[in-house]
Structure 1
Amino acid sequence: MSLKKASIIIIIILLIDQISKIYIKTHFQLNEDVTIFSWFKIAFVENDGMAWGTKLSDVFTFISDKSAKLILTLFRIAAVTGIALWLVDVTKKQKSKTLIFAIAIIFAGALGNILDSVFYGILFNDSTFEVAQFLPKEGGYAGVFHGKVVDMLHFPIWNGILPEWMPIVGGKYFSFFDPIFNVADIAISTGIGILIVFNKRAFKDSPKTEASDMVSHNNLT
């Protein structure tokens, strides 16, 4: 797969991710939800931290929330830069399509969430008790690098009281699946899943690379 094709995949994912986030941000109040099916809801929440809403300041209590957010955003930028360089490298070396596709969608997802963290604070006002406006006259809800990631996809597939016969958790309320996420998160999770499940296929050299290596070896011998 060429870098051009990988770039098209990235652009498509970014467009879907950002359009869905901007729509939710400009049409929903914070914590508002709409039930589409019994097992699927559009639920608007904002994530100011890492996965599951965890903040660096929760782990390192000596760091303020504002500093923790800045550190996290800068770390994400550094990480996505590394992923971009990896993508360019594997396309130049004509590695497997599986590997290039996986890296491309991971990059697209990571970049999608970074756009929220870097720009959403200055592009929108607060969504608490009101629907946010794009480029409000009074300014955004936070400075650059301090935006919150917009999440909206919720799949409450099952909830209820677990049977008494189950050890430890029996008789307790249980809900599956609680996390609320976005298109970017799906892209990242899918890419990582591909690298884990199809590990051998992903890291196997393409036929072109193998042929090139064989020619180089024959020239040396």
Structure 2
Amino acid sequence: MQAARGTPVDDRDDPGSAPTGLLASSRTWLLFVAVAGMLLAVDQVTKVLAVRHLTDEPDVPVVGELLQLHLTYNPGAAFSLGTRFTVVLACLACAATVVVLWLSLRLRSRLWAVGLGFLLAGIGGNLIDRLFRDPGPFRGHVVDFLMLPNWPVFNVADICINVGVGLILIQVFRGIQLDGSRVEVEK
């Protein structure tokens, strides 16, 4: 089986009327930057508000017991795993940020741009905590404040990572590449 590049698909600018080349990729890259920037700002603002309003306070029900606000600081990764490896997690987040930025330079697909934007916002939001929060650079604890029953406490950055990965997986399973072309399998 061989894979060959196909024609652009519907999540890319309309090939009949849209600009091609640098202008099309610039628009898609700007979408990526806008999504990442907006979501990163939402993450950081919600963390500041959580620290300001939830420190030393009891849990705040938002939707009964389904969703509550509960402030916690997480030195580890998801599910508080790897709490003794905060420096390693910070270094991995730095590397992941570089990889996402490098991949973004080849973007021509709007859905890939949105997916990578979500992913960058999530990685970046938690990386900012690891770099600038106590107990110090590369050892900082991530602010988590959203609590569901029987689930670890999380934040907006964690939501962004999951949505970003989901969108990227959709594109991969559809066979859509970063440039918007479809991988066709020849028999």
TM normalised by structure 2 equals 0.74
| Aligned partner (choices 59, 74, 88) of residue 71 of structure 1 | 88
Equivalence for 2:23: none
Unaligned runs of 5+ in 1: 57-64, 122-141, 157-174, 211-221
Compute the RMSD of aligned alpha carbons: 2.1
In structure 2, list runs of 5 or more residues that go unmatched: 1-26, 183-187
What one-letter code is carried by the residue in structure 2 that aligns with 1:76? A
Counterpart of 1:189, as a letter, is N
Which 4+ runs in 1 deviate beyond 6 A?
Answer: none
Q: Is residue 31–residue 45 contact of structure 1 (8 Å, CA) maintained in 2? A: no
Native 8 Å contact 2:31 2:113 kept in 1: no
Give the 3-state SS of the residue equivalent to 1:146 in structure 2.
coil
Which of 1 and 2 has higher RCO (CA within 8 Å, sep 6+)?
Answer: 2
What corresponds to 1:11 in structure 2?
37
User: What does residue 125 of structure 2 align with?
Assistant: 112
2:18 corresponds to which residue? none
- C-alpha spacing 1:184/1:202, structure 2 compared with 1 (3 Å): farther
* Counterpart AA for 1:104: G
- Alpha-carbon distance in 2 for matches of 1:78, 1:30: 35
- Check if 1:45 corresponds to 2:72: yes
Structure 2 residue 157 is matched with structure 1 residue 184: yes
DSSP-derived class of the 2:105 partner? helix
Q: Find the counterpart in structure 2 of residue 144 from structure 1.
A: 137
Partner of 1:88: 105
Contact map agreement 1:98 1:202 (CA 8 A) in 2? no
What's the CA shift string for 1:3-49, capped at 9, x where partnerless? 12211111110111000001111222268411122211111111101
Contact 1:77 1:114 in 2 (8 A): yes
CA drift at 1:197: 3.4
> Using a 3 Å threshold, how does the CA distance of structure 1 residues 144 and 35 change in structure 2: closer, same or farther?
same
SS at match of 1:151: strand
Q: Determine whether 1:203 maps to 2:177.
A: yes
Distance in 2, matches of 1:204 and 1:76, equals 21
Matches within 5 A, 1:96-135: 96-121=109-134
- AA aligned to 1:203 is Q
Larger radius of gyration: 1
* TM-score normalised by structure 1 residue count: 0.63
Identity fraction in percent = 25
